[in-house]
Amino acid sequence: FDARELAAFSRFCSGSARLPTHSLKLTLPPPGSDENPDGFLPLSQTCFVSLALPRYSSADVCARKLRYAIENAYLMDADFLMRHNEGWDAIDT
């Protein structure tokens, strides 16, 4: 993964462009992914900075699924959204 992909991965797992204040937690594979893990995408829970990965058949499949998820997931980005709220302009960023 290059620097852009790592930043997107951080955003995918935490919902923020900034690095999270606590570590990423790996959780159990997504429900229902046991029979055909390669048919599932990674699942993140941004509130908990957690990532659930199916038990993919290979590291290559895992990397492809992660790249797809981080490039195509529509996420909330509190850093971006808050900048449009009243009072944000008074904060020096």
pLDDT digits (tens, 9 = 90+) for 26-50: 999 988 999 999 999 999 988 888 9
Active-site option among 19, 28, 47, 91: 47
Instruction: Give the mean pLDDT of the chain.
Output: 82
> Would you say the pTM of this structure is higher than 0.85?
no
Within 8 A by CB and 6+ apart from 52, the residues are 26, 27, 28, 29, 30, 42, 43, 44, 45
Tally helices (H) and strands (E) across the chain. 3, 3
pLDDT digits (tens, 9 = 90+) for 51-68: 999 999 999 999 999 999
Instruction: Indicate if 47 belongs to the active site.
Output: yes
